[in-house]
Amino acid sequence: MRILLVDDEPLALERLETLIAEIAGVEVVGWASDGDEAAEMIEALRPDLALLDIQMPNRDGMSLARALKGQPETEVVFVTAYDHFAVAAFDVDAIDYLLKPVEPARLRLAIDRAGRRRLAGGRDEPAFEVEEPPPAEPYATTFWVRRPRGLVRVEIDTVAWIEAARDYVLLHTFNRSHMYRSTMDALARRLDPALMLRVSRSAFVRRAAVVRVQRRGRGALALELSDGAEVAVGNTYTHAVRRELDLKVHDDAD
């Protein structure tokens, strides 16, 4: 995968390039320090993915991403120090939204998602031109996610894990993340506990997506999921997660 890095901070660019050097099958094809320069380089280089900062001189990352919606060959992942741009980021069809300092595992996951999405052959699912979603079922089997052209249906069976994001949650699927307006407590009442397990105040995981349990010292746990994500288990949830996943027989495993 060919990647363009866009950030007005040289140290941030160097850190991204260092992290990307550890990922197989990925090549950094160029750097840009603002949106105008990035637009020219995207036109010339046609990268598969652009890692975009949002606040930059001249043209910012958000306006550049809006322009790129007409160029589906270049996917977008935002890399920023600010979390309050998340809603706007998903409105422009970004694959993911990473906060600085970027964790290596999250960067790898975002790049993996970009590759999967390209293989799937499209930037987004078709939007249904409806005003409101259908009435909620006792347990949610479908989420209707707002897009500029309408609503996109996301099936619960495609969601590997769910992460809190202020007044929203992020529905993480194999190919991308979706932003959905809900609190975690409200969502807990809508999710079937036989399918989705709450593992911290800020995360649910789909039970069937858990492929490995990692121990993190002093009894802490992290769950590795089928999409490559690692989700930490909150301290107050550890005993419940052990019980629900029947981990007693694995306590002495490496």
Give the pLDDT score at 222: 93
Q: pLDDT digit string (tens) for 75-93?
A: 899 998 877 777 777 777 7
Q: Is 219 left (phi over 0), alpha (psi -120 to 50) or beta?
A: left
Give the pLDDT score at 94: 83
pTM for the model: 0.64
Residues 6+ apart with CB under 8 A from 204: 161, 162, 184, 187, 188, 191, 196, 197, 198
Give the pLDDT score at 132: 47
Confidence of residue 250 (pLDDT cuts 50, 70, 90): very low
Q: What does the block give as tokens for 27? A: 């090549």
Considering just the CA atoms, what is the radius of gyration of the chain in Å?
A: 19
Q: Answer whether residue 3 shows pLDDT above 70.
A: yes
8 A C-beta contact, residue 151 and residue 220: no
> Which residues pair with residue 162 across a beta bridge?
171, 204
Q: pLDDT digit string (tens) for 109-136?
A: 899 888 887 776 655 454 444 444 554 5
Q: pLDDT digit string (tens) for 182-237?
A: 889 989 999 999 999 999 999 999 999 999 998 877 778 999 999 889 999 999 99
Q: What does the block give as tokens for 90? A: 């998903």
Query: Residues 154-178, buried b or exposed e (16+ Cβ, 10 A)?
Result: bebeebbbbbbbeebbbbbbbbbbb
Give the pLDDT score at 254: 43
Domains belonging to the chain, first-starting first, are: 2-120 (3.40.50.2300), 142-250 (2.40.50.1020)
Q: Answer whether residue 68 shows pLDDT above 70.
A: yes
Query: For all residues of the chain together, what is the average pLDDT?
Result: 84
